[in-house]
Amino acid sequence: MEKSFRRFTGSEIVFDTIDQLIEIAKINDPASFSEKLIEKYERIMIERPSSMAVLNILRNIASYFVEHGLEGLVDHLSKLRSEYDAMLWKAADIASRRVTSGEKILTNSNSLAIRRLLKLLKDQGKDVEIYITESKPGKEGILLAEYAESLGFRVYLIVDSAVRFFMKNINKVFVGAEAIASNGAIVSKVGTSLIALAAHEARKRVFVVAPSMKFSYETIYGELLKVPEGSIELILEPERDETLPGDFTARIPLYDVTPPEYIDAIATQYGLIAPQAIPLLLRSIYGSYPPFVPSLHELFEKIKEKYHG
């Protein structure tokens, strides 16, 4: 298969972040831990500002650290890791119940939630065919196709531009998410919105597999989700880049936004919900809407002032 670009998913970054912070917390030095925590936060805000699972995990850790310091922090981090892991499996399990043997499903990118969905479908003995877009830029779909093939599924890797051509053969669409906005819109791998649009036209159901940790609380108060762009190396070899005219500019979005009207349901650890029902879900979780969630910026300013002021 053609070479793909290995870009870590939001959930993979969650696990890696927690694992690194556990090791730092074991040193039992508040200044070292705060320095690492701030470094992680600032790096994510630059490189993955729409990866809400990571930011919400950092919000949780920062809140605990502000209130309790290092006391019990290692146990808290370990519990947080286990809880997020369980959320992912539960969301994938909920989604798997919408699939029956003999169906053809389409997906994209290399979402960990989607990989877990495929694993559960295999464990459940469901015989399905998987259509996967190559998912440029980065071609993460190649990695997902390799994984699906290793599970024993019949896999069709297709070019992104052929989604509308193949949609007539598809029964259901499943995609992952980087973030879920307050209005139910989904930030995901670029090209997801076109998949959803083609599915909407063909009257095929679209399901998002994402734990509630990917919800963007800031969007409740009017903030916009940031959609980062990649460098030209994602689409051109370095030697070809040198031959381009001096005024050439490349625009390479890594994610796009899928409107809620093109999404049938979101599979979370709490069950299958319509995008429009997100306020109801949050009210049931927090007891009020909008829920009170501490500001990331304010939390990290407190940490900087206390340990690095």
pLDDT band at 3 (very low <50, low <70, confident <90, very high): very low
Per-residue pLDDT at 7 = 72
Per-residue pLDDT at 286 = 85
- Examine the domain organization and report whether 128 and 264 are in the same domain: yes
- Examine the domain organization and report whether 143 and 19 are in the same domain: no
**Whole-angstrom Cα distance, residue 66 to residue 80?**
16
141 falls within a domain: yes
Please compute the mean of the pLDDT values over residues 254-270 and round it to a whole number.
96
Burial class (CB in 10 A: 0-12, 13-18, 19+), 143: buried
Please compute the mean of the pLDDT values over residues 272-281 and round it to a whole number.
93
- Examine the domain organization and report whether 171 and 71 are in the same domain: no
User: Which pair of tokens denotes residue 139?
Assistant: 């071609």
Region of 261 please: left (phi>0), alpha (psi -120 to 50) or beta: alpha
**Whole-angstrom Cα distance, residue 140 to residue 7?**
7
Query: HEC states along 232-288?
Result: HHHCCCHHHHCCCCCCCCCCCECEEEECHHHCCEEEECCEEECHHHHHHHHHHHHCC
The sheet with strand 255-258 has its strands ordered as 179-180, 186-189, 255-258
Per-residue pLDDT at 232 = 72
Per-residue pLDDT at 239 = 58
- Examine the domain organization and report whether 271 and 192 are in the same domain: yes
Please compute the mean of the pLDDT values over residues 144-171 and round it to a whole number.
98
User: Which pair of tokens denotes residue 222?
Assistant: 């009017």
pLDDT band at 6 (very low <50, low <70, confident <90, very high): low
Looking up tokens 């930011």 gives 55
- Examine the domain organization and report whether 281 and 296 are in the same domain: no
pLDDT band at 241 (very low <50, low <70, confident <90, very high): low
- 243 pLDDT higher than 90: no
194 falls within a domain: yes
Quick check: pTM over 0.85? yes
pLDDT band at 291 (very low <50, low <70, confident <90, very high): confident
- DSSP label of 138: T
Mean pLDDT, the chain, as a whole number? 92
5 falls within a domain: no
- Examine the domain organization and report whether 118 and 263 are in the same domain: yes
Structural domain that includes position 82: 10-88+291-308
- 233 pLDDT higher than 90: no
Q: Which residues have a Cβ under 8 Å from the Cβ of 231 and sit 6 or more positions away?
A: 250, 252
- 111 pLDDT higher than 60: yes
On whether the CB atoms of residues 70 and 137 are closer than 8 A, the answer is: no
- Examine the domain organization and report whether 187 and 261 are in the same domain: yes
Per-residue pLDDT at 245 = 66
Per-residue pLDDT at 270 = 96
- Choice between 223 and 59, residue whose per-residue pLDDT is larger: 59
Q: How many residues does the chain have?
A: 309
- 15 pLDDT higher than 90: yes
On whether the CB atoms of residues 130 and 153 are closer than 8 A, the answer is: yes
| Cα dist from 216 to 24, 103, 211, 295, whole Å | 27, 33, 12, 12
**Whole-angstrom Cα distance, residue 309 to residue 300?**
12
**Whole-angstrom Cα distance, residue 279 to residue 184?**
9
| Cα dist from 117 to 91, 113, 210, whole Å | 8, 6, 11
236 falls within a domain: no
pLDDT band at 225 (very low <50, low <70, confident <90, very high): confident
| Cα dist from 86 to 212, 216, 248, 286, whole Å | 12, 20, 46, 20
**Whole-angstrom Cα distance, residue 148 to residue 19?**
27
User: Which pair of tokens denotes residue 127?
Assistant: 């015989």
- 2 pLDDT higher than 60: no
Q: Looking at the 3D structure of the chain, how many domains does it have?
A: 2
> Shortest CA distance to 155 belongs to which of 105, 101, 117, 201?
105
| Cα dist from 120 to 94, 115, 151, 157, 216, whole Å | 10, 9, 10, 21, 27
| Cα dist from 147 to 114, 141, 143, 153, whole Å | 11, 10, 6, 9
- Examine the domain organization and report whether 74 and 142 are in the same domain: no
- Examine the domain organization and report whether 77 and 191 are in the same domain: no
Helix or strand (DSSP H, E) at 158:
strand 154-158
Please compute the mean of the pLDDT values over residues 195-201 and round it to a whole number.
98
